[in-house]
């Protein structure tokens, strides 16, 4: 009986080996093709001249009581907003940023009056009007100005151009690597957008308004896009 039992076990083992290969065809040459590819990062940059500017324009007032300080501030701020509108700024381009009232303290710690503050973010669509708008705000009683924050009205279009430039840059880098490695560059298998954006130069700190129109020089700014692309090896 032992020889028969051994023969049956051998037959079962052979069947297991045979079925293990079902559904796993090997590629030509008896080995699977290597996975992977060439992964590179491309950067696209578009340089342009800003055509818009945003300023924070504010009014700060004092009063013996919080109510007095706020009332005086509100009246003065309404005058400033009216002046900015008259200078050509649309209502939709004026946005309140901050309204606050705080106590002023003397050296010994007692309350010595109150300060009220109100500020609005003003977007000037025509950069050449910036000096006129700031001058109007100053004459109307604005005593705080922060800015400018310069930008482009067509930032979306510039961003799209920067993305296309980033992909082209990635392809050039991949072609160089493929040539150096002696392989052929294949199709794109993956693409990921990285950090991108259009930097907007911001001149920090308060700028006290003068009697004459404030000169605003736009300079240039860069809109940048970054992509990571993987190419197959042909």
52-151 CATH choice from 3.40.50.2300, 3.30.70.2970, 2.40.50.840, 3.40.50.720: 3.30.70.2970
Among the residue ranges 13-22, 103-112, 119-128, 221-230, the one predicted with the least confidence is: 13-22
- The answer to whether the beta carbons of residues 149 and 128 sit under 8 Å apart is no
**The pLDDT value given to residue 216:** 66
**pTM of the shown model:** 0.65
Closest CA to 158 of 128, 198, 187: 198
**The pLDDT value given to residue 219:** 81
Residue 83 CA from chain centroid, whole number: 32
pLDDT for 203 beyond 90: no
Closest CA to 40 of 222, 185, 161: 185
Residue 104: pLDDT band by 50, 70, 90 thresholds? very high
- Average pLDDT on 25-39 reads 55
**The pLDDT value given to residue 17:** 37
- The answer to whether the beta carbons of residues 41 and 227 sit under 8 Å apart is yes
Q: Which two tokens stand for residue 26?
A: 């090997």
Among the residue ranges 95-104, 177-186, 196-205, the one predicted with the least confidence is: 196-205
Q: Residue ranges of the domains in the chain?
A: 35-50+153-201+216-234, 52-151
3-state secondary structure of 94: strand
pLDDT tens figures, 110-162? 999 999 999 999 999 998 899 999 999 999 999 999 989 999 999 999 999 99
d(CA 82, CA 78): 6
- Average pLDDT on 97-110 reads 92
Residue 2: pLDDT band by 50, 70, 90 thresholds? very low
pLDDT for 36 beyond 90: no
Q: Which fold has domain 35-50+153-201+216-234?
A: Translation Initiation Factor IF3 (3.30.110)
Residue 34: pLDDT band by 50, 70, 90 thresholds? very low
pLDDT for 107 beyond 90: no
């Amino acid at each position: 009986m032992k020889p028969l039992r051994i023969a049956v076990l051998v037959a079962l083992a052979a069947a297991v080996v045979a079925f293990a290969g079902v559904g796993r065809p090997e590629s030509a040459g008896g080995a699977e093709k290597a996975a992977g590819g060439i992964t590179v990062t491309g950067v696209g940059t578009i340089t342009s001249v800003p055509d818009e500017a945003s300023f924070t324009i504010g009014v700060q007032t004092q009063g013996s009581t919080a109510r007095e300080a706020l009332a005086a501030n509100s009246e003065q701020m309404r005058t400033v907003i009216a002046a900015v509108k008259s200078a050509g700024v649309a209502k939709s381009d004026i946005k309140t940023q901050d309204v606050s009232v705080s106590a002023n303290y003397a050296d010994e710690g007692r309350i010595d009056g109150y300060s009220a503050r109100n500020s609005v973010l003003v977007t000037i669509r025509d950069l050449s009007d910036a000096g006129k708008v700031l001058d109007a705000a100053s004459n109307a009683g604005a005593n705080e100005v922060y800015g400018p924050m310069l930008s482009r009205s067509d930032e979306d279009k510039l961003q799209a151009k920067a993305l296309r430039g980033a992909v082209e840059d990635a392809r050039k880098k991949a072609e160089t690597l493929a040539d150096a490695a002696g392989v052929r560059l294949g199709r794109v298998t993956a693409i990921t957008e990285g950090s991108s954006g259009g930097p907007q130069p911001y001149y920090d700190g308060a700028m006290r308004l003068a009697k004459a129109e404030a000169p605003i020089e736009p300079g240039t700014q860069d809109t940048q896009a970054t992509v990571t692309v993987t190419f197959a090896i042909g």
